[in-house]
A and B are shown apart, each in its own frame.
Chain A
Amino acid sequence: MTATLSPTPGARAPGVGRARSGRASARTTASHYLIWAVTLVLVVGPVVPIVVASLWTTPLYASGGEPTLDNYATLLSDAAWWSAVGSSLAFAGLTTVLSVVLGVGAAVLLSRTDLPLRGVFAGVLVLPVILPGLVLIVGWMAMWAPSGYVSSWLEVNTFLSFPIDLYTMPGMALVATSVAAPIIFLFCRTTVLAIDSSLEDAARSSGAGPLRALLSVTVPLLRPAILNSALLVFAVSFEVLGLPLILGFSNDITLVSTYLYDHWINSAPPEQGLVSAGAVFLLACVSGLLVVRNRLVGDAERYTTVTGKASAQRPVGLGAAKWPLTVLVALVLGVLVVVPLAGVVLMSFTSLLTPLLDPWTVLTLDNFRSVFDNPVWVDSIRNSLLIAGVGGLVATVAIAMISVVAHRSDFRYRGSLQQAVLWPRMMPGLVTGMAFFWSFAILDPSGAVRSSLWGLGLAFAVRSLALGYGVFYPALAAIGQDLDRAARTSGATWWQATFSVALRLSAPAMAACFVLLFVSMLNDSDPAVFLVTDKTPVMGLTMLQLAATSTGGAVAAFGVIQMLITVVVLGVGRLVLGRRIHA
């Protein structure tokens, strides 16, 4: 002993402890149980009433009734139902095929070749994922519908015409592809960039040309990513509501989602038992597909990180094909993204958009004025901002808490917590909405929750859990667990260590998570179908209802406002998050 160790400053650890077995204190354990229970109740709990409702003769808010299988019998014997299932399969299949072709092609072309302007092209391609999807559809209708601005202009002024009618199955699939292809692109690009370029170099040194090496080495390595993203796209296309509601309407093309929507909204009295049975069916199909997907890929994408190898890759020269390909890519992106987006903007600033009139002569701000004159629309905007702001914040905090308990604690049931937070990803938006509708109907017969924004916000927040988790978790996983342990051995309790180290270090990821959740909740529409009341209109659903019934300039103006808010939030987020802390 030397003088260096002066008598202990501060308290010495107490004598023999009476702590419970296990390394967490009783209070920590209790808090873990609380978080676990609340998560399970909010995430899995709401599904129970749907199943009960599908097996009950009367709606759950009405008294009486008895168990029955009639709802399923009616559903399964309805020819219209089966035709809807068939249409959904066809629609999802067609969308998936088109998206894979476009998405994979783009991933290889835009990340591994010397195609000019590839950065710009990639930026344009992913726009539809970022922007509200319904707004894009409005743009499609304005420009490419048979009576649309560009398609009629082509017919009047050239020998060309737009070959596909948007109001048919192939047309719907094409529109859906403009949103789905970027998803496949993003998945595959991550993989393409992570592939060790020495693999291609090995093929080169074996005598393959650059293009040959790309096609015979890199593209086959993409198979898991393609399968993974294709299944996701298929599942999402199978359940999507907005697009078929808007485009399938005029030709009576009914998909599973629109079938359910119709039998709830447009039939009197609403066939709620039948719709619940259909929702159970939809949930089973989509969950099944996504379970298969998780099995196949081991949820690998959550752990995929872009390695630093990208810089080591040399782009593959396209040679003579370079300029023709550039024109082709520009053309495709122009049709799929640029023209529709331009259409929305153009429509919002003109009183009448037609090839017969020069748009500059009919410029107006009337459309925006009428948006702000309409109290429902103004309410929608205000409500959506509230839900996205408050809900995004609450959901971000929830995701952070759930993630630390699920991944950085000794909590006994943390495995089930990891599953629970991914579960909402398997729930179609329509089903989520119905789940909360029935839950509120049972738990809150007065309807107070449902008629406030809290009900809708809660449903949106639960739905966005998986999305936020996908952003937050990789950042948390990248923080070495020794950092927590060092805090524990320094004398910090589990929560102290978690707050001062893991959560503190993942603060930038929390901010990114919030921005993403904000945008997603701002534009979400499907869960609102069953939950919305006169007092709680939200942007996504208002847009859906408007787009399904009219194509006026005011709708476009509303869409432009929606896009503007989204872009501003993302831009600010990017600016703020650009500043990194030292780490």
Chain B
Amino acid sequence: MPDLTLTDVAKRFGDNTVLHELDLHVRDGELFTLLGPSGCGKSTTLWSIAGLHSPDRGTIAFGERVVFDGQKVDLPPEKRNCGVVFQSYAVWPHLDVAENVGYPLKLRKVGRRDRAARVHEVLELVELDHLAARYPHELSGGQQQRVALARALAHPPDLLLLDEPFSNLDAKLRERARDWLRTLQQRVGVTTVFVTHDQDEALSMSDRIMVMEQGRVRQVGTPEEVYQEPADLFVADFVGTVNVLPGTAAAAREGVARVWLEGLGEPLSVPTGEVGDVKLAIRPEQVVVHPPGAGARPNVVTTKVLSQSYLGDHYRYVVGLGASELVVRTLAPVVHGSELTIELPPAALRVFPIA
């Protein structure tokens, strides 16, 4: 399987720049996810790779094979040898399952016997070989999606491209499909680019994630890196939930700065070199809840409970922290009155300068 390299790819629609000089490299056999809100350019990127959109400039190469290079090279989609699974699945309604999967092979003039064998092989892979003679309208959404996947894998492709393939499945099915697809991708070992706006999908399936916003790359990293060490507030906020607290940092001593939050008497100790107006970010599950009267320690604050709710697998509190509101998540119930003692562990606090 080749790797995939995009260099300096840019695309505008009229006045609207949807991709700013995008560089990205997907390693051989990797499952690489483009994550971002709608309109961030992730689908445009995917379609540019597939050949369904022409970028304005830049180069796209599958291994050594250049498929797009500014005005010089622009291979049409049929010459790129990608397998694409569309959001709508795009399973052809007039062909049965086997014919759908066999179509790319037919175009490549694979003989009847080889074709049947390969179709059977791929359908077995997606666990649909018993439904080969069915028509798409006789299949469930999940089954249609697997037909689309089988078709995308049939030729076989140099690259597998997935455009929000789970968005039309219900929540339960989606989780199962995720695990299943990840296992399958690892078995086949095909280099895969996956587009989604769902952070859970991205975190649970990817080798690496690229977070995009408004046509720009915000961060590239493993799921752990992106979640635990977000490059900026956007990434922190988009991937997972985060509390953002405006504050003012004084010059650091021995790597630890004191940060004053508005309306809060005591400053917080935060490991940072930033000075001046900053934003602190902490994830709700990283806030530690203490029993009432848990002595005075750094970054331990007694707060007023504004609301609380029970969500089955966890409790969620909203507390007043100075002038800000803070969301706190805890697994065990806490006995408390109208106040909650919480700790903001310095290691869990991330500091971002105000842009």
Give chain A's interface residues, CB within 8 Å of chain B.
1-2, 4-6, 8-25, 480, 482-483, 485-494, 496-497, 500-501, 504-505, 581-583
Structural contact, B76 and A486, CB atoms closer than 8 A: no
Q: Given A13-B81, A485-B52, A490-B151, are A4 and B73 also a contact pair (CB < 8 Å)?
A: no
Residues of A within 8 A of B352 (CB): none
Residues of A within 8 A of B90 (CB): 480, 482-483, 485-486
Structural contact, A19 and B88, CB atoms closer than 8 A: no
B305 to chain A, nearest CB (A): 42
Interface-central residue, A486, A504, A505, by most chain B CB under 10 Å: A486
Q: Given A5-B190, A23-B76, are A489 and B135 also a contact pair (CB < 8 Å)?
A: no
Could you say which of B82, B89, B91, B110 contacts A489, with CB atoms under 8 Å apart?
Answer: B82
Secondary structure of the A side of the interface?
loop
A439 to chain B, nearest CB (A): 38
Please name the 3 residue pairs, one residue from A and one from B, whose CB atoms are nearest each other, closest first.
A10-B108, A482-B90, A486-B90
Q: Is B41 at the interface (CB under 8 A from chain A)?
A: no
Please, which residue of chain A has its CB at the minimum distance from the CB of B153? Answer: A5
Residues of B within 8 A of A20 (CB): 74
Q: Is B83 at the interface (CB under 8 A from chain A)?
A: yes
Structural contact, A491 and B76, CB atoms closer than 8 A: no
Residues of B within 8 A of A16 (CB): 65-66, 73
Q: Is B188 at the interface (CB under 8 A from chain A)?
A: yes
In chain B between 90 and 112, which residues have their CB closer than 8 angstroms to a CB of chain A?
A: 90-94, 103-105, 107-110
Q: Given A5-B189, A22-B54, A493-B76, are A483 and B121 also a contact pair (CB < 8 Å)?
A: no
Please, which residue of chain B has its CB at the minimum distance from the CB of A497? Answer: B78
Structural contact, A489 and B73, CB atoms closer than 8 A: no
Interface-central residue, B77, B125, B188, by most chain A CB under 10 Å: B77
A565 to chain B, nearest CB (A): 33
Please, which residue of chain A has its CB at the minimum distance from the CB of B157? Answer: A489
Structural contact, A501 and B92, CB atoms closer than 8 A: yes
Structural contact, A490 and B104, CB atoms closer than 8 A: yes
Residues of B within 8 A of A491 (CB): 78, 81, 104, 107-108, 155
Q: Is B137 at the interface (CB under 8 A from chain A)?
A: yes
Structural contact, B84 and A10, CB atoms closer than 8 A: no
Structural contact, B82 and A486, CB atoms closer than 8 A: no
Q: Is B315 at the interface (CB under 8 A from chain A)?
A: no
Give chain B's interface residues, CB within 8 Å of chain A.
1, 29, 50-52, 54, 65-67, 71-84, 86-94, 103-105, 107-110, 114-115, 118, 121, 125, 135, 137, 148, 151-153, 155-156, 158, 161, 187-190
- Whole-angstrom CA separation of A8 from B81 in the bound complex: 11
Known: A9-B155, A16-B65, A483-B90. 17 other contacts (CB 8 A): A4-B125, A9-B108, A13-B75, A13-B80, A13-B158, A17-B73, A21-B72, A485-B77, A486-B151, A488-B52, A489-B50, A489-B82, A490-B83, A491-B108, A492-B78, A492-B107, A497-B78
Structural contact, A1 and B1, CB atoms closer than 8 A: yes
Could you say which of B54, B88, B118, B188 contacts A9, with CB atoms under 8 Å apart?
Answer: B118
Structural contact, B155 and A14, CB atoms closer than 8 A: no
Q: Given A489-B84, A491-B81, A501-B92, are A19 and B108 also a contact pair (CB < 8 Å)?
A: no
Structural contact, A488 and B78, CB atoms closer than 8 A: yes
Structural contact, A23 and B94, CB atoms closer than 8 A: no
Q: Given A11-B109, A583-B137, are A489 and B78 also a contact pair (CB < 8 Å)?
A: yes
Please, which residue of chain A has its CB at the minimum distance from the CB of B189? Answer: A1
B11 to chain A, nearest CB (A): 13
Structural contact, A10 and B109, CB atoms closer than 8 A: yes
B101 to chain A, nearest CB (A): 10
Structural contact, A482 and B73, CB atoms closer than 8 A: no
Structural contact, A14 and B79, CB atoms closer than 8 A: yes
